[in-house]
Structure 1
Amino acid sequence: MSNIERLYDEAENAQVRFVGFVSGNQRYDYGIVYTNLFFGKPLVVCMQTGRSSLFSLEDVDNLEYIQQVFNLRSLEEAQQLALFFRHNLPAQSIESETEM
């Protein structure tokens, strides 16, 4: 245990949103954890697979990344999910919003 260097150990009350929707023949169930950690990027968790990633609006345009992270079958599915993220992720980080 002496070789472990703690990088961070933070506790906060985070806002969590659970969203389920259907697009085409695919059902999506996601949890979005809004936090001040990780530069204000929300943590997006697929409730079906447990796969997760930090996402911002800048990440939404990278369809290959979305497909890989959430193990989607096609770029079309990634495009549908990107459209959802584009309308449901904050335009700016929570940190910037609290400074205003």
Structure 2
Amino acid sequence: MFEQLYDVSEQTNVHFVGFITDRARYDFSIVFTNQFFGKPLVICMQTGKSTLFCLEDLSNLDDLQQAFLLQDPKAAEELQSFLMSRLPSLDVRDQY
């Protein structure tokens, strides 16, 4: 037995992006949805790890490293820089 919390279908925009740096190759999909307070779902296509992130969330580099299992802090900085150009800014009021 289970209690259903939600069951929603929607048309979404999905961006598939891949890039390479001196340290690593990255393959991500970014799902832009109205669910989750408008935060995009960022999915690493290599590891399957995913998280909800908006521009403000990227200020915490430790969260980014932990979400995508990045051992190298410089690699986390590179990913942070890239995602800053792709993710929207959300006002706190929009989130809650």
**TM-score, scaled to structure 2:** 0.90
CA apart distance, 1:79: 0.8
CA apart distance, 1:83: 0.4
Greater Cα offset, 67-76 or 45-54: 67-76
Rounded to whole Å, the distance in 1 between the matches of 2:23 and 2:79 is 13
Q: Give the 4+ runs in structure 1 shifted more than 4 A.
A: none
Uncovered stretches (5+) of structure 1, i.e. residues with no partner? none
**TM-score, scaled to structure 1:** 0.86
Which residue of structure 1 lines up, in the alignment, with residue 51 of structure 2?
53
Aligned residues: 92
Which residue of structure 2 lines up, in the alignment, with residue 89 of structure 1?
87
Uncovered stretches (5+) of structure 2, i.e. residues with no partner? none
RMSD of aligned alpha carbons = 1.3
Equivalence map 1:56-67=2 (5 Å)? 56-67=54-65
**Aligned residues: percent identity?**
51
Larger radius of gyration: 1
CA apart distance, 1:23: 1.3
